[in-house]
Amino acid sequence: MEITMRTLEAMKKLTLRQEIPQMLKECGINQYLIEVGVRWGFGLRNLLQADPTLVIGVDHWNATRNPAQNDTNLTQPQLNDMYSRLFHESLFDSRIRLLRGKSGDVCKWFPRLWADFVYIDADHTHEGCLADMAYWWDVVARGGILAGHDYNLATNKNGKVDFGVQTAVRQFIEDRKISSDCLVTIENKGDSGSWLIYKINGE
């Protein structure tokens, strides 16, 4: 209970996404970290500040015809270049691993209750976000955190994707009967906001 309260209190003090790595380090839940939806790799690099054993980036880097899976209208050559740059960077940092594939497929490669922290920044529709949360919840260890980006009700820049992250998060904790006390949100302060769910048990 002491560990639970300490982690929850640390989560509640967060004001920016960039503060998450330090919080993970201070709470001792910084060994195995995953980001789902990597693109340029800014979030992945930020997680390295937690001093982890391993940070895994999961993304398909694929210009699909589904706007929810490419809501910034990037071309395949642009996405390939992003992946290549990050892959080259990972060759010189043993803490970084990249897994190129769909979220629902890649999550099956991990054992249950393995990761300390999973951050989702992929499909921002209600259905897509809810699916990703379900895919990765079992991978998160007890005492770990499932989190994500874009906790807002906006439409993305190309106007084709209505974000449903807020409603998906609320439905997820309701369906799983997770206490609302375990949900912490970081308000939009120039970074579209984030949400974090502390996993007490193996719900």
What CATH number is associated with residue 84? 3.40.50.150
Q: Are 40 and 65 in contact (CB under 8 A)?
A: no
Q: 1: pLDDT confidence band, cut at 50, 70 and 90?
A: very low
Q: Which whole number is the average pLDDT over 177-198?
A: 87
Q: Which sign, positive or negative, has the C-alpha torsion 157, 161, 166, 172?
A: negative
Q: In this structure, is residue 170 part of a structural domain? A: yes
**45 vs 71: CA distance, rounded Å:** 22
Question: What is the value of pTM for the model shown?
Answer: 0.92
In a domain, 91, yes or no: yes
Q: What's the whole-number average pLDDT of the chain?
A: 90
73 domain residue, yes or no: yes
Q: What is the pLDDT of residue 160?
A: 62
In a 3-state reduction of DSSP, which class is residue 196?
strand
Residue 7 resides in a domain: yes
User: Is the pLDDT reported for residue 70 higher than 90?
Assistant: no
SS3 82: helix
Q: Is there a domain that residue 203 lies in?
A: no
Q: Give phi and psi for 78, each to the nearest 5.
A: -65, -45
Which residues fall within 8 angstroms of residue 38, CB to CB, at 6 or more apart? 44, 57, 58, 59, 61, 86, 98, 121
Inside any domain, residue 103: yes
Confidence (pLDDT) at 108: 97
Number of domains in the chain: 1
Q: Establish if 19 belongs to a structural domain.
A: yes
Identify the helix (H) or strand (E) that includes residue 129.
helix 126-137
Boundaries of domain holding 136: 2-198
For residue 164, is it within any domain?
Answer: yes
